[in-house]
Amino acid sequence: MKILFLTMFRISDVYERNLYSDLMRYFANQGHTVYIVTPVERRHKMPTSITEQNGMYLLKVATLNLQKTNVIEKGIGAIILEYQFLRAINKHFANIRFDLVLYSTPPITFTHIVNAIKSRVKAVTYLLLKDIFPQNAIDLGMIKQGSLLHRFFLRKEKALYRISDFIGCMSPAIVTFLLQHNPGLDPAKVEVNPNKLGAKV
């Protein structure tokens, strides 16, 4: 399979040890070709670049600062991220017919990308839902309930749930919360997918 992985988590090297790099190496070790798209924030002063190691392609996309920055830059950066990612994907992976698209939380700004790729190549899409956004941002006081920004992200959230073929949640409690707050969501496509990798990578 050709697997595309979208994440807002910065991956500097496919051999670093973290949940997502470990998962991508596991897929590569099973004979799949992996394409990772990750941000490289403005503070690092690096251009968009691509590297390949043992069947794993790492596309680092130059973005605004997304973490440890002011709310305005973080908000604008999150909004334009999907366009920056999609432009880079169309440039570097234009001829790749992906079989599976994986994307991790907080992923709601990936809606346009996932929809575009799904329409183009009919890939299966899987959302790795580790937390609930924008609800967690409201709980942390980062955005205001009912604000314009909240409503924007809420629409993105609902749209992403609709276009995802499967949604993997970290715990049964998140499954319950998701279904309770999204009554139109098909329960058959929601499952528990904990932060565990049962194979050595």
Q: Which two tokens stand for residue 98?
A: 């992906």
Residues 56-66 have pLDDT tens digits of 999 999 988 87
Cα 3 from Cα 112, distance rounded (Å): 18
Q: Given a cut of 60, is residue 9 above it in pLDDT?
A: yes
- Per the CB < 8 A criterion, the answer to whether 52 and 59 are in contact is no
Q: What's the CATH code of the domain at 14?
A: 3.40.50.2000
State which H helix or E strand residue 13 sits in.
none
Q: Is 38 strand, coil or helix? A: strand
Describe the crossing of helices 148-163 and 111-121 by its angle, rounded to 10 degrees: 30
pLDDT more than 70, % of the chain: 87
181 confidence band (pLDDT: 50, 70, 90)? confident
197 confidence band (pLDDT: 50, 70, 90)? very low
DSSP 76-145: HHHHHHHHHHHHHHHHHSTT---SEEEEESS-GGGHHHHHHHHHHH--EEEEEE-S-TTHHHHHTTSS-T
**Residue 34 placed within a domain:** yes
pTM of the model: 0.85
Domain tally for the chain?
1
Residues 78-91 have pLDDT tens digits of 778 889 999 999 99
**Residue 201 placed within a domain:** no
Q: Given a cut of 60, is residue 201 above it in pLDDT?
A: no
Looking at the chain, the number of H-run helices and the number of E-run strands are: 6, 8
**Residue 200 placed within a domain:** no
Residues 94-153 have pLDDT tens digits of 999 999 999 987 656 788 889 999 888 889 999 998 777 655 565 556 667 767 766 777
**Residue 177 placed within a domain:** yes
φ, ψ for residue 85, nearest 5 deg? -65, -50
Cα 190 from Cα 198, distance rounded (Å): 21
Q: Of 173 and 201, which is predicted with more confidence?
A: 173
Per-residue model confidence (pLDDT) at position 108: 65
Cα 127 from Cα 19, distance rounded (Å): 15
165 confidence band (pLDDT: 50, 70, 90)? very high
**Residue 76 placed within a domain:** yes
Per-residue model confidence (pLDDT) at position 110: 86
**Residue 15 placed within a domain:** yes
**Residue 184 placed within a domain:** yes
| Vertex 26: Cα angle to 25 and 30 (nearest 5) | 110
Label residue 122 left, alpha or beta by phi (over 0 means left) and psi (-120 to 50 means alpha): left
Residues 27-50 have pLDDT tens digits of 999 999 999 999 998 888 899 999
**Residue 199 placed within a domain:** no
Residue 39 lies in domain: 2-192
